[in-house]
Chain A
Amino acid sequence: MKQPNRAVALAALLLLPAAAAAAQRDVAYTYTGTVHAVQTTTRSIDLIVGVGMALRLVHIRAAPTTSMAGDGGPVALGDVAPGDVVRADCRMTDTGLVADRIEIKRRGQ
């Protein structure tokens, strides 16, 4: 019984950092903000978010699997325009924020 226990403990020790890192990567972020810029070539958007007058810029990439919605149906990234208010459900990856879903909540002026 001692050998399997040691193996399990060793496996746990080895897997723990990887599991922790994966958990960290999987942390979900939801941002609702005003679109500052849309880059269709890199499939990304910059969102203005913030609290009060302390405003921040968030860079979010859209993956091929990112669900895009707005105007009562599906939309393309190119349909998103600066000034639109969008909600982006994202997760942090090694290369930054990637959106699982982007929804246009309000069209800009």
Chain B
Amino acid sequence: MSRAGTWCTVALALLAGGCQRVLKPGDPLPGLTRPERDRFDRGKVVFDSVFTPQTGLGPLFNSTACGECHEDPAAGGRGDEVEVHATAFKGGLCDPLVEEGGPVIQQHATPALKQALGIDSEPFPPSASARAARTSPVVFGRGLLDAVPDSVILKYADPDDKDHDGISGRPNRSVDGRIGRFGRKALVPTLEEFNDGAFVAEMGVTNPAVASEETIGGQPIPPGVDPVADPEIDAPALDLANAFVRFLAPPTPSQLDREGQRGRTVFTDIGCAACHIPLLRTGDNPVTALRNKEFAAYTDLLLHDMGPDLADICLGLATEPEFRTEPLIDLRGATAFLHDGRAATLEQAIEAHGGEASASRDKFKALPPSDRAALIAFLKAL
């Protein structure tokens, strides 16, 4: 056989064998077209751009760049920043306290705002009934989560626990009534909207989708404090940042050894997989790399009652103890767990589960040490 023939045979064998590249944190989805890959690369530049007051930062902000909070171990990863959120639950309804500055309480102020009002951060809303701490999660694989059809989410919902398994997930709804999926309480229906809103709520950078700044605890921005004309970034830059996040791949889980394989079985046996659905499938999508893809999501994107010990704020339809099932993506590098980072280990995180997860938690606690270790080994491979 000629050399060319040999290479053809090897290439065909690799294709036939479904040879797949191991995806590292920060890698793009496999199968992007050249223009999509170009947008991913250029979007990363926007994602890592550091804003200043002269380029639109503030006047209130939590961070100066997307990549400042989503940085570890690569752009799109986790951060050590912890945010403050607040809402009020009254009369059976959740008030996001828009009249007092909204649910995100920005922790920093530009020098001009500090000079004008003498504040270092947004005032905490006086009407708040609860306060929440929020860590910065990885955003790997969020494009795939965005591409999961609503029908899939609804398929797992069982708000009245009709199957009597003790699990009663339900979807949250955005302020305009659509099914939510992003954010720790699943308020936001699409990835693009989450990002567009985050530019303003997290950095004070107005954009074509959100053309007005956050208020200062409900009060207008003092004159002269925010001299940059709105929108502070244009549509092409916003689109690129969205493309970068959308095209970030979920890192490939590590190969499981025998203990990890045992842990995967334990994960299902004790009921974790009832909410942390291991595999989700995307639907039709204009991006081939996102179309009809099965991926390791470990979430149902639904709200579940996690018990009084974890309860913090309400948001949309989510009551204080309800949280969206956290996708278990890139756990291997995590050093803080749960929505507020209160758990330093996976064991602590599991043991903090309450409410609908109480039965699984209790089964975990009752496991022999070898099975507990196996479950942790499995999770650390994700």
Seen from chain A, the residues whose Cβ lies within 8 Å of a Cβ on chain B are: 32-34, 36, 48-57, 82-83, 85, 105-106, 108-109
B103 touches A (CB below 8 Å): yes
Query: Is B177 in contact with A105, judged by CB distance below 8 angstroms?
Result: yes
Task: List A contacts of B98 (CB < 8 A).
Answer: 36, 48, 50, 55-57
CA gap between A50 and B188 in the complex, in Å: 10
Seen from chain B, the residues whose Cβ lies within 8 Å of a Cβ on chain A are: 91-93, 95-96, 98-99, 102-104, 173, 175-177, 182-183, 187-188, 193-198, 200-201, 209-210, 212, 214, 317
CA gap between A51 and B194 in the complex, in Å: 7
Task: List A contacts of B195 (CB < 8 A).
Answer: 52
Closest-CB distance, A59 to chain B (whole angstroms): 11
Knowing A53-B197, A56-B212, the reply to whether A85 touches B177 (Cβ < 8 A) is: yes
Closest-CB distance, B233 to chain A (whole angstroms): 14
Knowing A50-B197, A51-B193, A51-B210, the reply to whether A85 touches B176 (Cβ < 8 A) is: yes
CA gap between A49 and B210 in the complex, in Å: 11
Task: List B contacts of A85 (CB < 8 A).
Answer: 173, 175-177
20 more contacts with CB within 8 A, not counting A50-B210, A52-B198, are A32-B176, A33-B175, A34-B176, A36-B98, A50-B197, A51-B210, A52-B197, A52-B210, A53-B102, A53-B197, A53-B198, A55-B103, A56-B212, A57-B98, A57-B99, A83-B93, A85-B177, A108-B93, A109-B92, A109-B93
Smallest CB gap from A48: residue in B: B175
Query: Is A49 in contact with B201, judged by CB distance below 8 angstroms?
Result: no
Closest-CB distance, B60 to chain A (whole angstroms): 12
The 9 listed contacts between A and B (C-beta, < 8 Å) are A36-B95, A53-B102, A53-B104, A53-B194, A53-B197, A55-B98, A55-B103, A57-B98, A85-B177
Query: Is A54 in contact with B99, judged by CB distance below 8 angstroms?
Result: no
Query: Is A55 in contact with B96, judged by CB distance below 8 angstroms?
Result: yes
Smallest CB gap from A31: residue in B: B176
